[in-house]
Structure 1
Amino acid sequence: MSTDPRTPAATELVVDVGRVAHGGHAVARHEGRVIFVRHGIPGEKVRIRLTDDAEGAKFWRADVIEVLEASEDRVEHFWHAADARRAWAHGHPPVGGAELGHISLPRQRRLKAEVLAEQLHRLAGIDAHALAGLPGAGHVEAVGEDASSAAPGLGWRTRTGFAMTPSGQLGMHAYRSDAVLAVREMPLAVDGINDLRLWDQDLQGIERIEVAAPANGSRPLVLLVPAPGTRPQRVAAIAARLPERVSVARLDPATGEVTQLRGRTWVQETASGHDFRVTGDGFWQIHRHAPETLVGAVKEALHDGGYLAPGSAVADLYAGAGLFTAALADAVGVTGSVLSVEGSPGTSRDARKNLHHAPQVEIVQGKVERVLRQKPRSFDALILDPPRAGAGKAVVSQLVDSAPRAIAYVSCDPASFARDVGYFQQRGWALKSLRGFDLYPHTHHLETVALLTPRGPGH
């Protein structure tokens, strides 16, 4: 019998699922080998299928294909396309994007809290006792759910992207794979996306589609990304077949240029009493309740802490279309000042349009580290909302040098967040409060809002 672990006979193993790890996996071991297992729950005994078992690799990856001893928190997956057991029974991997759909929502949130705590301990040296002493820390909050919710954890995505199968059907990628699997629903998306029924269209010639359906019910936008060599006439014909109520545009992924095909090249979002224009695939929080939730959490941290008041000098870094900038402008009034920095030229133009009525706001397009270097100044408070990679050591140093009284750090990645907290601590700062929000139910992602301040004397 062959002992090669990559032979078909050895691609299935029985393992005990261990602790949760960052990235949507749990840790299992087989003969000393670490295996990152998706679609399991800590404490279960399962049969797995190895999906990445390269010889000499430090660890392997696997999907659960059979549950031998189930957790009491296991539930029926709400989406057949993302259900690993069902998908592999039909001979193919599941689509990505709902890797925790087999776990009850309360357990999902406890697991996310464990991941956040583990990252803060490993990368910032914050132990469980210190974390327990932080206001708001220790749990991940549900967002936009109550006892009357018909389908809790579903219907929250106002933006989603789709790939195409070779035959031109709407599809999604399998995890860590170029394989595209056809889909006929997206249960995490709002009705405004599912009601378009894009899976009924012949989309040959299109490589990717991005869809935005604002939570305020305003006109959706469909962005078509043509495959190389697709003629403009073909793209125009596809656009003409889409529902008349939507705007349609063409997106050039190389340049980011958005070309109007029908209607507008942007969508109108609403949050905290302001309207925001967001062009093309410009950044906007995807959970329908996220903008209000995050603005509220940031204002609570800064305003209630006494760090934000009329006349303050503040900054919004990685500002996007100006969601937090608008809230800051309201708080400091015309006697204060707001520096709003965004790297994307298109998104920065949106911010200018969105905040043109606020004379206290200065919009600057450019990398945060370059702008801070070229425009050194002092601030009373800052909002930091970097991309998934985080701010990094150089930016953290620049922020500390600007001597603010407090920084509200909004993060979508616990690992980069914890790393940056470690950098702040090295410069004499500390976490003062921390809240986690489940803005991505049924996925491993979570959002955090933290307040950082300089350590006082004797700390």
Structure 2
Amino acid sequence: MSTATTTDWTDRMLELRIGPVAHGGHCVARAGAGDDGTGGRVVFVRHALPGELVHAVVTDDPGGAFCRADAVAVLEASPDRVAPSCPWAGPGGCGGCDFQHAGHDAQRALKTTVLREQLARLGADAVTAAGTDLLAVEVEELPGGPLGWRTRVRLAVDDAGVPGLRAHRSHDVCEIGDCPLVPAGALPPVLRQRFRPDSEVDVTVGDDGAARVGSGATVQAAGRTWELSAGTFWQVHPALPDTLAGVVRDWADAPAGGVAWDLYGGVGLLGSVLAGQVGESGTVLVVESAPSAVADGASALADLPQVQFVRGRAEREIARLGPDPDVVVTDPPRAGLGKAAVRDLAARAPRRIVHVACDPAALARDLTLFAAAGYRASALRAFDAFPMTHHLEAAVLLERR
């Protein structure tokens, strides 16, 4: 079979032997593959696991060498398959979860496979130059288990005012009765309400277990209390802020009286850790573009005179910030830092960089750029901060060679 096609396969039923997991929450199979598993057309299959034999319906065919499908019947199941904990998570349902059908340990193993594959394929130069075996990384479990961890959720509202979650790769709103990722009992009262049609609703679950719409929150992390305005970014997994603060505390090693930068710093969570290392005679610059985050962070860290907030886009501020840093922490959006930001940051020659990433491919690309700029990775950790989804959080320590 040719790897290209002029026939639209949408809605076609395929019998497929499922191959390896791939980045994005799906596995790879080949329609019409030979006995050795090669040849045929690539099919990215959701709701399946490596090794399974499934019937899959093609959901999207952009033409060319690949299409996308959902497994709708499992003929030979993987031993890692479990019954989904959410009735809305299957084919054609809510698109928020990718791995409801896999045991929790199996999910972390799938994410570990993807992370290692992305590092080997897109970050080969960084892997070679590293001062540690990056490909030995394991995605670590966070406290709390795979359910009930999501304390912040954005609901979509359909044209009738009914809230729900979006279907996979779609603007369609899936009406749901609950979400098991949210603390038990918090979401149903919100889902019974009606909102402005075709809008979005931000929901925050407080420490009391109650859900609040369009409201701020009081949270604790890094030994401090943070009062967050509505819409201010905060990690959705309650264990992740302290976990990342601990990583920075262990790795940054900012000198007393030195200069540290916290780029894409939000409310200054990681900057507060740096402040403790440089002391009152040092300087911490927290660069953040969101006005509410800057205001909330400045209020929370008002007792730390060494912390200064700079409102602006970090990638634009790197070249003009002063003085040069001893240590930098970066936590960019999903797309990563990119060529220009890595170039400008390396030109400022910090001794150490603690780089946080939430996308394995972006992480691997940025590590390659850092390797070319004279930095080597000396430590890497990854965390299952988003159970049931394909997402993860990683942190890497980069040291100037």
Q: TM-score, normalised by structure 1?
A: 0.80
What is the DSSP-based 3-state SS (H/G/I as helix, E as strand, rest coil) of the residue aligned with 2:295? helix
Whether the 8 Å contact between 2:129 and 2:376 is mirrored in structure 1 is no
How far the C-alpha of 1:28 sits from its partner, in A, is 0.8
How far the C-alpha of 1:83 sits from its partner, in A, is 2.1
Whether the 8 Å contact between 1:211 and 1:220 is mirrored in structure 2 is yes
C-alpha separation between the residues in 1 aligned to 2:25 and 2:17?
17
C-alpha separation between the residues in 2 aligned to 1:183 and 1:394?
43
Task: Say whether residues 1:286 and 2:236 are aligned partners.
Answer: yes
C-alpha separation between the residues in 1 aligned to 2:97 and 2:21?
16
Match of 1:143 in 2: 142
Match of 2:37 in 1: none
How far the C-alpha of 1:129 sits from its partner, in A, is 8.7
Structure 1 segments unaligned to the other structure (5+ residues): 85-92, 146-151, 224-246, 248-265
Task: Say whether residues 1:401 and 2:372 are aligned partners.
Answer: no
Match of 2:256 in 1: 310
How far the C-alpha of 1:166 sits from its partner, in A, is 3.2
How far the C-alpha of 1:390 sits from its partner, in A, is 0.6
Q: Please, which of 59, 66, 74 is the counterpart of residue 73 of structure 2?
A: 66
Whether the 8 Å contact between 2:44 and 2:69 is mirrored in structure 1 is yes
C-alpha separation between the residues in 2 aligned to 1:186 and 1:411?
26
1:107–1:7 CA distance, 2 compared to 1 (3 A): closer
How far the C-alpha of 1:329 sits from its partner, in A, is 1.2
C-alpha separation between the residues in 2 aligned to 1:430 and 1:354?
34
Whether the 8 Å contact between 1:137 and 1:435 is mirrored in structure 2 is no
Match of 1:240 in 2: none
Residues 372-411 of structure 1: matches in 2 within 5 Å? 372-411=318-357
How far the C-alpha of 1:26 sits from its partner, in A, is 0.8
In the alignment, residue 203 of structure 1 is paired with which amino acid? F
C-alpha separation between the residues in 1 aligned to 2:198 and 2:93?
23
Deviates more, 1:71-80 or 1:342-351: 342-351
How far the C-alpha of 1:322 sits from its partner, in A, is 1.3
How far the C-alpha of 1:205 sits from its partner, in A, is 3.9
How far the C-alpha of 1:193 sits from its partner, in A, is 3.3
Task: Say whether residues 1:185 and 2:178 are aligned partners.
Answer: yes
C-alpha separation between the residues in 1 aligned to 2:31 and 2:79?
24
Deviates more, 1:25-34 or 1:60-69: 25-34
Residues 288-367 of structure 1: matches in 2 within 5 Å? 288-302=238-252, 307-367=253-313
In the alignment, residue 289 of structure 1 is paired with which amino acid? A
Task: Say whether residues 1:80 and 2:87 are aligned partners.
Answer: yes
CA RMSD of aligned residues (A): 2.3
Q: Please, which of 422, 436, 444 is the counterpart of residue 368 of structure 2?
A: 422
Residues 50-129 of structure 1: matches in 2 within 5 Å? 50-54=58-62, 56-84=63-91, 93-125=92-124
1:130–1:162 CA distance, 2 compared to 1 (3 A): same
- The count of corresponding residues between Structure 1 and Structure 2 is 390
Task: Say whether residues 1:163 and 2:166 are aligned partners.
Answer: no
What is the DSSP-based 3-state SS (H/G/I as helix, E as strand, rest coil) of the residue aligned with 1:374? coil
Whether the 8 Å contact between 2:186 and 2:210 is mirrored in structure 1 is no
Q: Please, which of 189, 192, 196 is the counterpart of residue 197 of structure 1?
A: 189
Whether the 8 Å contact between 2:116 and 2:135 is mirrored in structure 1 is no
Whether the 8 Å contact between 1:44 and 1:67 is mirrored in structure 2 is yes
C-alpha separation between the residues in 2 aligned to 1:374 and 1:192?
49
Whether the 8 Å contact between 1:218 and 1:267 is mirrored in structure 2 is no
Match of 2:219 in 1: 269
Q: Please, which of 355, 377, 395 is the counterpart of residue 431 of structure 1?
A: 377
Q: Deviations over 1:261-287 (max 9, x none)?
A: xxxxx3222102111122222211000
In the alignment, residue 173 of structure 1 is paired with which amino acid? R
1:420–1:144 CA distance, 2 compared to 1 (3 A): same
Structure 2 segments unaligned to the other structure (5+ residues): 33-39
How far the C-alpha of 1:298 sits from its partner, in A, is 1.9
How far the C-alpha of 1:165 sits from its partner, in A, is 3.1
Whether the 8 Å contact between 2:385 and 2:392 is mirrored in structure 1 is yes
How far the C-alpha of 1:219 sits from its partner, in A, is 7.5
Q: TM-score, normalised by structure 2?
A: 0.91
C-alpha separation between the residues in 2 aligned to 1:278 and 1:432?
34
Whether the 8 Å contact between 2:358 and 2:391 is mirrored in structure 1 is yes
In the alignment, residue 192 of structure 2 is paired with which amino acid? D
Whether the 8 Å contact between 1:136 and 1:435 is mirrored in structure 2 is no
